[in-house]
Amino acid sequence: MDHSDYTWAELMAVCISREMQDGYFGAVGAAAHIPMAGLRLAQLTHAPNLSFMCGGSGGLNPRSERLTESSSDYRNLVNSEFRYSLEDVVDLELAMRFDYAFVGGMQIDKHGNVNMAVIGDWANPKVRGPGTVGVIFLGAFRQSYLYTEHHTPRTLVERVDFVSGGGWLDGGDSREKVFRPESRGPKNVFTPLGVFDFDPDSRAMRVVSVHPGVAVSDVVDATGFELIVPEEVRETTPPTDEELTLLRERVDRDGVLRKYGPRLGAALTRARDVGTMTGVEWQDRYLRVNGVTTHYLEAGDGPPMVLLHGGEYGASAELTWEGCLPDLARHHRVIAVDFVGFGRSDKIRDFVGQRSLMVRQVGDLLDALRIGAAYFVGVSLSGRMLLDVARREPVAWPVTGMTVAGLGLLPPRAEVARVLSEYDGSREGLKPILELLFHSDDFARSEEYLDRRHAACLEPGAWECATAAHLRSPARRERPRPDSPPDYRAVRQPVRLVVGEHDRLVPREDWDALLAALPDASGVVVPDAGHYPQIERPQAFVEAVLTHAASLPPAKEEGR
């Protein structure tokens, strides 16, 4: 097995596994799939007598080969050795029966204190979390380990806004004055960038190792306080063949950890290639609203800007926007969404109204984030969706203005659309699609880029959801193709219409016709680009977006 294809979540699980000791008994919280994977891997390797309890469900040592995304999932009870009641769990915590526990948080500070309650002022918080729950028992675990999926200055802070669980409190000997001596405090912190511990004197967080491809400076820049950095910092040892094989075949057969994308070292390297990330926080986030889990990227501060990707096989927020997101985030709070069926969002297909589902998904996400006004950017499929949303009352999204790219007044010609739809899932079968979408050989004929795109197509459920779009029930009447193009005269928001100079999907006359059909539109042609100028010429695309967004009057953002 190739060591280089592991994800950062898999590496975190391996690092956790290596820290575990045989014979210990511990607990994990609710959103603990990465620690659960690490503990199960330890049981299969060097610690067969290690035990852990799923804090959310009470299951002891679940043996399923299909990792769940929450320890509260009922499936953890099916193959568990025993089930503890909530009363049992609290009794075990108060009696200090747990040798260890894994705890995450919205914020973790330099002394290992954890916040799960509120961010901002208690009376008027910016974010309200799930509450303290079992984190309050950090003073009753003999040892604790902290973890986070987001290594950013917003997550790793100088001081938490609220202490849900006490780590080393104010540092030094402050913990010993409050908690029982048997409770030794947090030992390690595991993040996508490295492994950390706490200095034995100051009890401030210290770098132990940085993951492959990650520089110490990357870690320092991504941390909201001054880390202790030893003179020599080692590189985290990558997963071995045995660890990776066991993880994928005996712990996580459904690929829950693989959906998190490549290891962060590779992602940071790509970010340096396509645009500097210095001073820009790029966070992977998940939010479940109305039964749908949405993955999105978030970066920057300022007026909200929502980025939407296209509908080709393997499309995602990261692949579509990685070249633009850093520069856009210097001026805006950017939200780049994975639609349902794409990227790392839920793989759901609504055979009656998939686009309606996607519209609801984005609207529900923005409602949950309390974004009441935003500038939108859509390409190809999402560009058409944007215009359709804007021309209908009531407008489903809080659109103040938009940039739309890769779109003409009419849909692509049938022979061109056929190339995009008749994809068999193979690496070779993807080549004609890339040659159609891109003008530059750096994307149209790059073996490395082909590998990335093909890997995205093979994300669990991605190919199936995209292919399902072309299935038609024999019991349903095929809707006739409209005789006339859509009427966009009702679009009242200002539109910046962008097209690549060599877009093979959008004839220039169709683009000109759409430009003329919109009441308030301006056009930009990006030279030396095909259907996706935001990928091939990100700087020119960003300039087109920012100049248009800056020309609009500021919109007052209110909770929707």
CA distances from 297 to 224, 285, 286, 307, 377 (A): 19, 6, 9, 9, 14
Is the pLDDT reported for residue 274 higher than 60? no
CA distances from 535 to 160, 267, 275, 307 (A): 38, 16, 11, 13
Architecture of domain 3-249: 3-Layer(aba) Sandwich (3.40)
pLDDT in the model for residue 431: 93
pLDDT in the model for residue 124: 83
Mean of the per-residue pLDDT values for the chain?
Answer: 88
Angle, alpha carbons 26-31-33 (nearest 5°): 70
Q: Quickly state the pLDDT bin for 263 (edges 50, 70, 90).
A: low
Cβ atoms of residues 457 and 420 within 8 Å: no
Q: What is the helix (H) or strand (E) element at residue 522, kind and residue range?
A: strand 521-526
Spatial distance between the Cα atoms of 499 and 226, rounded to a whole number of angstroms: 45
Spatial distance between the Cα atoms of 445 and 424, rounded to a whole number of angstroms: 19
Closest CA to 72 of 87, 57, 90: 57
pLDDT in the model for residue 237: 96
Note the pTM of the prediction, 2 decimals.
Answer: 0.62
Cα 170 vs. chain centroid, distance in angstroms?
Answer: 32
Cβ atoms of residues 346 and 293 within 8 Å: yes
Cβ atoms of residues 253 and 66 within 8 Å: yes
275-471+489-550 matches 3-249 in CATH topology: no
291: left (phi over 0), alpha (psi -120 to 50) or beta: left
Percent helix, strand and coil across the chain, each rounded to 5? 30, 20, 50
483, two tokens: 């005789």
pLDDT in the model for residue 520: 95
Q: Quickly state the pLDDT bin for 478 (edges 50, 70, 90).
A: low
Whose structure tokens read 């994307």? 443
Can you give the residue ranges of every domain in the chain?
3-249, 275-471+489-550
Between 263 and 358, where is the model more confident?
A: 358
Cβ atoms of residues 494 and 401 within 8 Å: yes
Lowest mean pLDDT across 119-128, 168-177, 338-347: 119-128
Could you give the residue ranges of the DSSP H alpha helices within 240-296?
241-246, 264-274
Closest CA to 543 of 359, 394, 330: 330
| Fold (topology level) of 275-471+489-550 | Rossmann fold (3.40.50)
Q: Quickly state the pLDDT bin for 128 (edges 50, 70, 90).
A: confident
- pLDDT > 70: percent of the chain: 91
Cβ atoms of residues 398 and 556 within 8 Å: no
pLDDT in the model for residue 138: 84
Find the radius of gyration of the CA atoms of the chain. 25
Q: What is the helix (H) or strand (E) element at residue 325, kind and residue range?
A: helix 325-328
pLDDT in tens, 191-209: 999 999 999 999 999 999 9
Lowest mean pLDDT across 12-26, 137-151, 495-509: 137-151
Lowest mean pLDDT across 144-153, 273-282, 428-437, 451-460: 273-282
pLDDT in the model for residue 349: 79
Spatial distance between the Cα atoms of 100 and 24, rounded to a whole number of angstroms: 8
pLDDT in the model for residue 558: 45
Lowest mean pLDDT across 136-145, 374-383, 455-464, 479-488: 479-488
